[in-house]
Amino acid sequence: MKRKNKWLIVANWKMNPSSKKLAKNILTKVKKNTSRLSRVETVVCPPFVYMLEVKTTTRFILGSQDMFWEPEGSFTGYVSNLQLKDMGVKYSIIGHSERRALGESDIEINKKIKVSISSNITPIVCVGEKERNGNGDHFAFIREQIESAFAGVSKSVIKDVVIAYEPVWAIGKNAKRSASTGEIFEMTIFIKKVLSDIYQTKSVPSTRVLYGGSTNDKNIEDILKNGGVDGVLVGGASLDPLIFGNMLKIAEKIK
């Protein structure tokens, strides 16, 4: 079966790199390593201070790593949906586990999702369990995260949001491994089932699901072919222009 969507590959730079020069360097090299891609939608979510570099150096789509839920006003240090929209941001990561670990609540995440949708910025909503205990409790945990994230979000827009399954145990430098494609596939189906339950629809929602956690140029092919996902959210590997460029090229070849 031919895929309806392009692969969605999202680079999450987190709080890296440490200078504009390095940011430009990554972007220029990835661009040089990859020609125009027709089957891949590449989104780069840099720190706010490098957004202009992404816009001017590449043809990649601009994303943000967060957004505040108020459109403007006395909120020192925050960046709003209107400001991001004006900057040309098309996607926004919301509810990343690293933000949740620093205290971001389900209620805040829900508000951010709503404000993102209201300004036509596609939210990439992150969900993921901290650990697996062997009893399958992580399914109930993910269900709760999705239910609270989408509380009050209307059925008509649910096809337009993106959910990223990012098990915390598979993320970052301390991760022992990426999730297996079996685990990813099972969770992708489960996430769609939860959405069908919430919105009481029998048809499988066309909401895109991504996987994130230790993805790289060695495992992306297997994940895209066998994980049932629409793409990947890439952390560490997105800062290495060679590896990230390879990931884009590998995805481009998968029909």
236 binds ligand PGA (CB under 6 A): yes
CB of 1 to ligand PGA, least distance (A): 28
Show the tokens assigned to 129: 């369990």
Using the rule CB under 6 A, which residue among 63, 205, 213, 231 binds ligand PGA? 213
d(C-alpha 111, C-alpha 234), whole Å: 25
Bridge-based pairing of strands 7-12 and 208-212 is unpaired
Whole-number minimum distance, CB 157 to ligand PGA, in Å?
23
Of all residues in this chain, which one has the CB nearest to ligand PGA in the complex? Answer: 235
CA distances from 93 to 33, 64, 75, 109, 112 (A): 25, 6, 20, 10, 10
Q: Is 166 a residue of the active site?
A: yes
List binders of ligand PGA among 160-199 (CB under 6 A).
Answer: 166, 171-172, 175
- For ligand PGA, the binding residues in 19-38 under the rule CB under 6 A are none
Which is nearer to ligand PGA, 146 or 171 (by Cβ)? 171
Q: What share of the chain is helix, strand, coil (3-state, %, to 5)?
A: 45, 15, 40
Q: Kindly tell me which of 175 and 198 has the beta carbon lying closer to ligand PGA.
A: 175
**Cα 18 to Cα 49: distance, rounded to the nearest angstrom:** 11
Residue 215 CA from chain centroid, whole number: 12
**Minimum CB–partner distance for residue 233 and ligand PGA (Å):** 5
41, 96, 129, 138: the active-site residue:
96
Cα 82 to Cα 150: distance, rounded to the nearest angstrom: 21
Site for ligand PGA, residues 35 to 64, rule: CB under 6 A:
none
Residue 41 pairs with which residues in a beta bridge? 8
- Do 245 and 60 meet the contact criterion of CB atoms below 8 Å apart? no
Q: Binding of ligand PGA at residue 129 (CB under 6 A)?
A: no
Query: Which residue among 41, 53, 129, 166 is the active-site one?
Result: 166
Is 96 catalytic? The answer is yes
Does 215 sit near ligand PGA (CB under 6 A)? yes
Active site residues: 96, 166
Which residues of the shown chain bind ligand PGA in the complex (CB under 6 A)?
12, 166, 171-172, 175, 212-215, 233-237
